[in-house]
Amino acid sequence: MKAMTLKAPGGLDKLTLTDMDDPGDPGPGEIRVRVRASSLNFHDYGIVSGAMPSEDGRIPMSDGAGEVEAVGDGVTEFAAGDAVVSTFFPGWHDGPPPIADFTTTPGDGIDGFAREVVVAPATSFTRSPIGWSHEEAATITTAGLTAWRALVVDGGLKAGDDVLVLGTGGVSIYALQIARAMGARVFATTSSDQKAERLRELGAHAVVNYSEDETWGETIAGMTGGRGVDHVVEVGGPATLAQSISACRIGGHMALIGVLTGRAGEIPTAKLMAKHQVLQGLIVGSRAHQADMVRGMETTGLKPILDRAFPLQDLADAFRHEESGAHFGKIVVQI
């Protein structure tokens, strides 16, 4: 089978399309999946760029979607021909988070989905939403489920809430779509007038250009009549958190899910305390969360925004496109 491997210490020029042995038939409790698509995430970029060390020869990509080719003994949830999508933490099935690292995450601690065939425990997958392409389904594993957990699971999103999303990456666009589908009002930030127009087309109530407005948090709070938003999907990290605190209402919920501006920095803790806000860190979610999200996507009719598709052999070019920041929504890889 064909697979993309990464030579240590990483770098886009260290990605190599390789012929590997077929993994064979599934054992008890396992399924064999013909992988058809993956999608790019900031975490994947950290691995392939070498910013996050990984094992020599690692197969990258945390997201995988495809169809079941065979099932092992004892598997009753899936059958040959079923469309499935991978989970980010294969061992986290339900309940509170049991892990605080990426040692079990495909494409990081274990081999990922930049390959044609995977044999793994059936519990490492959920079914894909009915009617979704494999490319669409592949966006659920990381970006989709992160947005879902931030707003629905942890945030308790309800109709009439105000939501702030930052930028136009995969998580932010998913969060905008989920919030709108559930009757919330969405505010967004971007540095591009063209992307601002696309955000409005997707239903954003208002968009602020953060490159032109350094106090965009106060501006957005003003747009809510001074109350502030109920939820912030915080993908930026230290350089954006202070403004997110300003934008968020007293007692509001901020989901800290990104480090796009760095891994550490100053936080105005006194203001966070004074506003009684909840700042909750999270990394993706459980298999049960993902199964709930799949049902939610089918019920709402929501589908992800896809930016561009690349063939597996052009994976490095896909990441260069991500590097450029020109994308809007999810970049996918066809396998």
Domains 2-141+285-334 and 145-281 share a fold: no
Give me 290's structure tokens: 């993902």
Mean pLDDT of 46-58: 96
Phi, psi of 205 (to 5 degrees): -70, -40
What is this structure's pTM?
A: 0.96
Beta-bridged to residue 189, according to DSSP, are 166, 208
Query: pLDDT tens across 309-335, in order?
Result: 999 999 999 999 999 988 999 999 999
How many CA atoms, within 13 angstroms, populate the side-chain half-sphere of residue 136? Answer: 16
Asked whether the CA dihedral 261, 150, 295, 43 is positive or negative, the reply is positive
Query: pLDDT tens across 86-118, in order?
Result: 999 999 999 999 999 999 999 999 999 999 999
Q: Confidence band (pLDDT; 50, 70, 90) for 265?
A: confident
Mean pLDDT of 217-221: 98
High-pLDDT (> 90) share of the chain, %? 95
- CA separation for the pair 305, 163 (Å, rounded): 19
Burial of residue 21 (CB within 10 Å: 0-12, 13-18, 19+) is exposed
The DSSP-derived string for 264-307 is -----HHHHHHTT-EEEE--S--HHHHHHHHHHHHHHT--PPEE
Fold classification of 2-141+285-334 (topology level): Quinone Oxidoreductase; Chain A, domain 1 (3.90.180)
- CA separation for the pair 290, 85 (Å, rounded): 9
pLDDT at 327: 92
- DSSP 8-state symbol, 312: G
Mean residue pLDDT of the chain comes to: 96
pLDDT at 266: 79
- CA angle, 127 as apex, 123 and 129 as ends, to 5°? 155
Tell me which of 259 and 238 has the higher pLDDT.
238
Q: Confidence band (pLDDT; 50, 70, 90) for 261?
A: low
Q: Where are the domains of the chain?
A: 2-141+285-334, 145-281
Q: Confidence band (pLDDT; 50, 70, 90) for 13?
A: very high
Q: Identify the CATH assignment for 145-281 out of 3.40.50.720, 3.40.190.10, 3.40.50.170, 3.40.50.970.
A: 3.40.50.720
